[in-house]
Every structure is written in structure tokens, then in C-alpha cells.
Structure 1
Amino acid sequence: MTSIHSLVSSSSRNRLQKKKSSQILHKPITKQKTQFVKPSRCNHHSLYLARPNQAEQGNQRYQVTCSYRVEQSQKRNGYTSRPLGALFIDKFLMKGKILEGKYDKEFVEYTLSFFSQNTGFQGRHNLEDDEMMNFYSRLPCEAITENARIQLEKNIDKPYERLNLLFVDGKLIGIKKKMNYEFLRMMGINEEILEDYISKEDLLPACWDISQIIKVREGISFISNLINFQGGIFGSRIIIKNFIQSDSSQKISNQYIYYIYSCDRRQLNVDNLERNFLTYFQLQALTLPQRVAIHQSRIKRPCVAKTILDFQ
């Protein structure tokens, strides 16, 4: 007679034997899969693996670079431009790209591009319906020679800014913005502050609101409120002069627009400029060279051109 214990033991042995058999039968399959997968990833001839690894690394670098560019683009698109103190941002000139800065003993000048065949860069916005372009097209215009214009500019003894619009075949391809140091002081800044701001924001400041300027309908002389770096509001008479130089043979024309400001000279106070310098650069005190440079009415240094945007 077979005991219950014997039956249970026999049944257990049978299940254990089947389990072991099953494991043994599956081992070759599992081993074959492992051997098939591993050689393509590692532990084969190094020469055979060099190309796949380089391709994978290159693909990884490409993906990382693309991800970085997308991230930077998203940050830029969602970035709110930081104004320079209480000054306005020049919304018209922000439609171009600042390429170069020129620093003379009496003025600063920046070159902006809206289109360049060399770089393939095109303007950020369409200018055909721009309000400022329409405003400039309505201004009384006077033809002038280059020598006469240069002499006129030398005789300006007030704060001024000048726009030079370059047209080829009627298309605006570039702008130069020029500001004398008295104009910068009227805004409460100097060229060091301006250069640092441009390097960080790629923008130019303005002391008046474009939406107010374009409402001017009577003549080229008017009174308007201006604002400076520290938020002070003051009145000034503004005279706009508009000149044109053209070369019909080459289909090139230059439009020169001057803004000349007649304000209380106290608005050019260097003490305000010194405080603004400390505030902007977050300094506790000025060194003697910085103090001397700020208090000089004109900084005596040779003309220097500095590339701001390098397409290389």
C-alpha cells in the first residue's frame, strides 16, 4: 500500500523535476538572446565598434545641441526686455540687429541691419506699415550735399540724435543711430552704461514714447515731455530736420533725420550721471579715473569701431 506521504513526495518530486526541465530547456534560448544582443554593444573587435560608437556619439551631440537651441529660442521668445532704468525701449530700432558700435570723442554711433546678403539676415518685422516709417515719410524733406550736412552737424551745440536710413532700390537695408554725449547725459547715462546695456539686451533706449511722437502733425518743431534714467520727467523743445542724399545712377539714397533738443541745462547735470552710474553697475563708490571720466564734458579718445555681432 502506498502512503499518503509517499504520494505527496512523489508529486512534489515530479513538479520539481518538471520545473528543472523547463529551466534547462529555456536556458539555451535566453543565452542565445543574450549572446545576440551583447556583441553589437560591446566586447567585440574595437575596429568593428568604432564607427557605430562615433555615430551614436554624434547623434547624441546633435540631439543635445538641438535641444539647447530650442531651449534658448523658447527663453528668448518668452523673455521680457529689460529697459535701461526708466527710459523707453526704442521699438522702431529693435526691429533691426545691432552689428557694430563706433565711439568717438564727441559721440557714439551704432550700425543696425535689416537685411544683408552676406549674412542672410532679414528684419525681425515687416517695416512697410511701420508707424515710424510712415511718420518719417511725412516729414518735410530737403536735399543737401554731404559737405553741407557735415558742417550743419558740427554747428549743433545741443543734445541731438541722428538717424541715417540707407535705401537700395527703395528698400531699407540699414540704419545708423548717432548720439552725442550731451544727449546721453540728458538721458542720464554715458557710453559705458549704454555699451553694457546693448551687450546684454541688444536694444537701444529712448527718452520719449514713440506713440506720442507719431501724433505730431504740425511742423517739425514741437514741445514734448521727456524722461531720463532715474525717472525724472522734463519738457524740451524738439526740432526735427530731415535731409536726403541720393545717387540715381546707383539707386542708393540716404535719409538723415536729426532730433535736436533744447532743454534746461540742469538736465545735463553730471551729479545725476554719477549716481546713475553707481546704480547701474551696483557700485558703492567710484574710483578716481571713473569720476574724472564722468565729469569730463567730452572724453578725448580716438574713434574706435567695435563689432557687436560676430557672424563668424
Structure 2
Amino acid sequence: MSNFLKQQKEAREEKTISLSKVIKKEKRRNQYTIEFKFGSDVDVSKLKQIIQISQSIPAQISLHVYFRLESDMLFPLQLDPYLQLGALPIDPILYNYRIVRYDKHQNNYIFYFEPIDRPFTPLEVVKNTLEQYHPNLGQQFELFHFNILKLDNLPISNEKEVQEYENSIKNSFVVYIQKKQKGRITTLIKSINAQYLQLIGINEEMLQDYVNQTGLLPWCFPNENQQFLKILQGMFQGAHRQLKNSMPAINYNGQQFEVNIIPKKFHLYDQEDDSYLSFMYFQQEYNTQIIAQNQITSNMNEYFNRKTKIPQSDEIKYDQTRRCNFRKI
């Protein structure tokens, strides 16, 4: 069985157990508990005034920049740069979903989603918007949209095939797990591995803090208009046909470089609720020398605003005449 499928089932079982527990808490009463009878002659003029409290709500994604479709397609539209992690754009999956759980399993970081209740966007609106970037992009989108909703001649795999493919992955990768049912696709899980964090120039501490602070995820594809066009064309053509293609990527520091995307899809059929579970893997091949580990450490220090220098082991010397180690300044 797929590792991600195992994690999903365990998470579902934990949720079921939690919901089945009934906690009964008796109302506490003591000598300070006073009954207040409404309509009585009690003088309420001495009650304390209610103070109005203003709380700053964290910035959210503006409503006018998203598309929601039955095909659950993702569009990398430009958002507020203040919500970005360094130079990394925001993963468009968070336009229509919120993260409800975050797990780490071995070398993988797994995010569970639930959809945000928003109306679906008419196809013509999306098509007309994309044609502003390129006249053929609207037609490519429409074809891709209906193709991924089709269930005719859908190749069905088994869990063993998915597991074998997962075990064979050596590169940086992203996987989306989606459910197809009644003409609609819903994304359940996204997972990335440690190599993907290296690709985008961050580490686990930065990722965890960013998710906790914003509820968002970083993405490795730039948002500039020309790059945006190339990314969409790559999505529409390469992902559906499972063709290897080259796309521009960006890291935390703003460095742009080419990555080879290797897509792979699996579909599992669930007889119980007449649905399909789709696994969409995207491996990334790139020059790993672009960003070194010490640069990632520097990025972390910058992100957390840490300016203290930790001395290296070779900088510390030992003096026989003293009782402790010392470092020459």
C-alpha cells in the first residue's frame, strides 16, 4: 500500500475515534455563583462597561484572484508578495483549500486539505481570462479541463504498483492525491520530500513556521507573465500526457533555473463509494549544485532574523593551563 494512503487512513481513523468520544462536563457551582433573574429589579448600572477589543486578523488571499473548477485545476496567479516565503510564490492549491493537518513521515512532509466553500467559476470566465495571455491558452485549458474529468478508458492500477513507484523515486518530488467522484475532483493530500525543500532553498524549520504563521505553502514556479504562460502550457500538455518537459523554477533567494518535470499518474478504484483515487507524481531533475547546504542555513538565519554566529569546531582551541576551552577573537 502507498505510504501516503496509509497515512491518510490512519488520519481518518484518528478523526473517527476523536469524534466518537463524548466528553460530559458538569457545570461547576460555588459560593460565588449568583443566579440572575431577567426581568427582576436588580440594578445593572454598576456592571462594568464592555470594552471593545480590536484584533488584527492575518492577511488572507483576496477573493478576486482565484478560480474554482470541477476539475480542480490550479492557476498560479500573482498574490500579495508579503505572504510569500522569500522569493517563493504561493502554492495555488491554497486558493481553494485550507490545511487541516500536517504530518512528517520518514523523508516526506504530508499536508491534508479540506475545500473552502466557494462557488464554482464558469468555464467561459476562465477561458477568456487565459486568452488574455495567449490566444491558444483558453482552448488548451478547455481541452485539459474536460480530459481530466473523463472516466472513460481510465487505466486502473493497484496499490502494489503505486508502492513500487514510490520506492523507486530518488529525486525531488511532489505528489497530489485527489478523489474523483460524480463529475468533481477534490484534492485530499499534497506531499513533498526533503529534496524538494533543498530545491526551493529552505529547511524543515522554515517550512513549519511558515505554514503555522500563514496557513500557506511555497511553490517552486515563478509568477512573471512569460514564465506564467510557459508553466500553464507545461501543465496542460505535459501533465495530462505524462510527458517529461522542462520548466523554469525559482528558489528562496530568487535564483531561476530549469528543472525537468517527470509526471506519473495512478488511478485506484473504490467500489464502496464508486470513486477514483488519483495519485499525481511530479519528479524534478535539476542541478543540485545551484544551492548548497550552507546557503540554506543562511536563509534560515535570515528568515528567523538570527544574527549570532556559532563558532566552528576548528575555531575552538584547548589550553592545558586553563580549565575550559577558549576561542581566539
- Give the aligned partner of residue 181 of structure 1: 194
Greater mean deviation of Cα atoms: 265-274 or 103-112? 265-274
Mapped partners of 2:191, 2:177: distance in 1: 8
- Give the aligned partner of residue 137 of structure 1: 148
Mapped partners of 2:154, 2:194: distance in 1: 26
Residue 97 of structure 1 aligns with an amino acid whose one-letter code is: R
Q: How far off is 1:93 after superposition? A: 3.1
Decide whether the 8 Å contact of 2:174 with 2:193 is kept in 1: yes
Decide whether the 8 Å contact of 1:239 with 1:261 is kept in 2: yes
- Give the aligned partner of residue 202 of structure 1: 215
TM alignment of 1:76-95, pairs within 5 A: 76=60, 80=80, 81-95=82-96
- Give the aligned partner of residue 244 of structure 2: 221
Mapped partners of 1:206, 1:77: distance in 2: 15
Mapped partners of 1:225, 1:77: distance in 2: 24
Q: How far off is 1:172 after superposition? A: 3.5
Residue 96 of structure 2 aligns with an amino acid whose one-letter code is: K
Mapped partners of 2:83, 2:193: distance in 1: 23
Structure 2 SS opposite 1:212: helix
Greater mean deviation of Cα atoms: 271-280 or 261-270? 261-270
Decide whether the 8 Å contact of 1:94 with 1:203 is kept in 2: no
- Give the aligned partner of residue 271 of structure 2: 248
- Give the aligned partner of residue 98 of structure 1: 99
Mapped partners of 1:182, 1:242: distance in 2: 20
Q: How far off is 1:248 after superposition? A: 3.4
Structure 1 SS opposite 2:197: helix
Structure 1 SS opposite 2:301: helix
Bigger-Rg structure (1/2): 1
User: As a proportion of its length, which structure holds more helix?
Assistant: 1
Long gaps (5+) in structure 1 = 1-45, 115-121, 289-312
Long gaps (5+) in structure 2 = 1-39, 63-78, 127-140, 223-227, 312-329
Q: How far off is 1:267 after superposition? A: 3.2
- Give the aligned partner of residue 107 of structure 1: 108
Structure 2 SS opposite 1:89: coil
Q: 1:125 to 1:151 in 2, by over 3 A?
A: farther
Post-superposition Cα deviations, 1:143-177, rounded to whole Å, max 9, x if no partner, equal 22112101211110000010111244343444211
Structure 2 SS opposite 1:199: helix
1:230 pairs, out of 240, 243, 253, with 253
- Give the aligned partner of residue 43 of structure 2: 49
Bigger relative contact order, structure 1 or 2 (CA pairs below 8 A, ≥6 apart): 1
TM alignment of 1:156-175, pairs within 5 A: 156-175=169-188
Q: How far off is 1:249 after superposition? A: 3.5
* TM-score where L is the length of structure 2: 0.59
Report the count of equivalent residues: 227
Mapped partners of 2:281, 2:179: distance in 1: 15
Q: CA RMSD in A?
A: 3.5
Q: 1:153 to 1:53 in 2, by over 3 A?
A: farther
Greater mean deviation of Cα atoms: 250-259 or 177-186? 250-259
- Give the aligned partner of residue 288 of structure 2: 265
Post-superposition Cα deviations, 1:166-210, rounded to whole Å, max 9, x if no partner, equal 244343444211001001111101121111111111111111146
Q: 1:280 to 1:236 in 2, by over 3 A?
A: same
Percent of paired sites with the same residue: 20
* TM-score where L is the length of structure 1: 0.62
Q: 1:205 to 1:262 in 2, by over 3 A?
A: same
Residue 146 of structure 1 aligns with an amino acid whose one-letter code is: E
Mapped partners of 1:88, 1:125: distance in 2: 24
Q: 1:77 to 1:146 in 2, by over 3 A?
A: closer
Post-superposition Cα deviations, 1:42-64, rounded to whole Å, max 9, x if no partner, equal xxxx96214x777x96xx57xx4
Q: How far off is 1:241 after superposition? A: 0.9
Mapped partners of 1:204, 1:141: distance in 2: 31
